[in-house]
């Protein structure tokens, strides 16, 4: 059966006069949005037969039966799932349907999920970023985007190795009749901050060979727009590849320590001394 992908809807709408980049599986951007986030309906982002992928309350749900689909829509608390923390494209938890009567269901869903393209970013109808097979695909138009969603391929492309925020290979759409098309997409991709991972109270962005670690949705949203953190402390060479790491400090004295502990526990590196000039 031909795989089809339904239009992606974010869970939280960002207000403003200028277009905003949209991320799948958004978590609440501020405390004032917590209730709207909690009440938001599940959104389906991929389907093939009974297999479906949904975004709900900042997590991905991967389902294999119509019964589970009905449960997610009508009574999410009744859904039997197996959690896979960090398996989402930006480190989100993925919930796989579990069924005691079919012990192999979860494993089959995990394998199918790994082969499912997921739309990560969209800017109007001119810029799309997908993640598929641990690679990023950067596409510059709605027709090519629809073709990729249906076939998981691009007729013509340019490959950049280790250019993604987690060193993924990046495949960029190219056009024979427009030699500069791919270069413009590459420049746009590399000039934009890239979300490395996110959790309810932990965000890591990569921008210009620096890592920015934040502890709140509001700060993450502000950084995405302004590329600034109001209060921060830099640690030179603290990244796994020697990058400078900039931590949000904020007003809470414990925030920096919490972010440092989480960052260094994940990166398995020892904490370095901060840059006294920042």
Domain span including residue 174:
119-192
At 204, which helix (H) or strand (E)? strand 202-207
End position of a domain, from candidates 67, 87, 115: 115
Cα separations (Å) of 36 from 19, 75, 127, 166? 21, 17, 28, 31
Q: What is the per-residue pLDDT across 169-217, written as a single tens digit (0 to 9) for each?
A: 999 999 999 989 999 999 999 999 999 988 878 999 999 999 999 998 8
How many separate domains does the chain show? 3
Q: What are φ and ψ of residue 170, in 5° steps? A: -115, 125
**Pick from 191, 190, 137, 135: nearest CA to 167:** 135
The answer on 168 and 133 residing in a single domain is: yes
Checking if the pLDDT of 18 tops 70, the result is no
The answer on 238 and 183 residing in a single domain is: no
Question: Does residue 15 form part of some domain?
Answer: no
Q: How many CB atoms are located within 10 Å of the residue 164 CB?
A: 20
Checking if the pLDDT of 26 tops 70, the result is no
pTM for the predicted model, two decimal places: 0.75
Minimum mean pLDDT among 20-24, 78-82, 159-163, 264-268: which range? 20-24
- Strands in 157-160's sheet, in edge-to-edge order, are 22-23, 118-123, 127-132, 135-139, 169-173, 157-160
What is the chain's percent helix, strand, coil content, to nearest 5?
A: 25, 30, 45
Question: Does residue 235 form part of some domain?
Answer: yes
Q: What is the per-residue pLDDT across 34-85, written as a single tens digit (0 to 9) for each?
A: 777 777 788 898 888 899 999 998 889 999 999 999 999 999 999 999 999 9
The answer on 105 and 30 residing in a single domain is: yes
Checking if the pLDDT of 12 tops 50, the result is no
The answer on 168 and 221 residing in a single domain is: no
The answer on 106 and 66 residing in a single domain is: yes
Q: Quick one: pLDDT at residue 25?
A: 64
The residue whose two tokens read 């709408």 is 13
């Amino acid at each position: 059966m031909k795989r089809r992908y339904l239009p992606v809807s974010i869970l939280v709408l960002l207000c403003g006069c200028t277009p905003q980049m949209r991320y799948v599986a958004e978590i609440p951007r501020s405390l004032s949005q917590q209730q709207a986030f909690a009440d938001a309906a599940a959104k389906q982002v991929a389907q093939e037969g009974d297999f479906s992928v949904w975004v709900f309350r900042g997590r991905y749900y991967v389902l294999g039966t119509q019964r589970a689909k009905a449960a997610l829509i009508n009574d999410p608390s009744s859904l039997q799932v197996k959690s896979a923390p960090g398996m989402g494209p930006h480190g989100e938890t993925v919930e796989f349907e579990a069924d005691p009567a079919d012990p192999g269901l979860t494993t089959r869903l995990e394998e199918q999920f790994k082969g499912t393209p997921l739309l990560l970013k969209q800017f109007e109808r001119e810029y799309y970023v997908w993640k598929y097979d641990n690679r990023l695909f950067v596409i510059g138009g709605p027709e090519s985007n629809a073709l990729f969603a249906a076939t998981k391929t691009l007729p013509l492309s340019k490959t950049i190795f280790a250019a993604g925020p987690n060193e993924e290979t990046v495949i960029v759409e190219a056009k024979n009749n427009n030699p500069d098309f791919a270069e413009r997409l590459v420049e746009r991709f590399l000039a934009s901050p890239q979300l490395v991972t996110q959790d309810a109270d932990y965000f890591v962005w990569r921008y210009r060979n620096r890592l920015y670690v934040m502890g709140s949705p509001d700060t993450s949203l502000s950084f995405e727009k302004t590329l600034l953190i109001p209060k921060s402390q830099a640690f030179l060479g603290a990244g796994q590849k020697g990058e400078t790491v900039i931590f949000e400090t904020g007003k809470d004295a414990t925030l920096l320590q919490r972010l440092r502990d989480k960052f260094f526990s994940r990166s398995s590196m020892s904490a370095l001394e901060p840059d006294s000039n920042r």
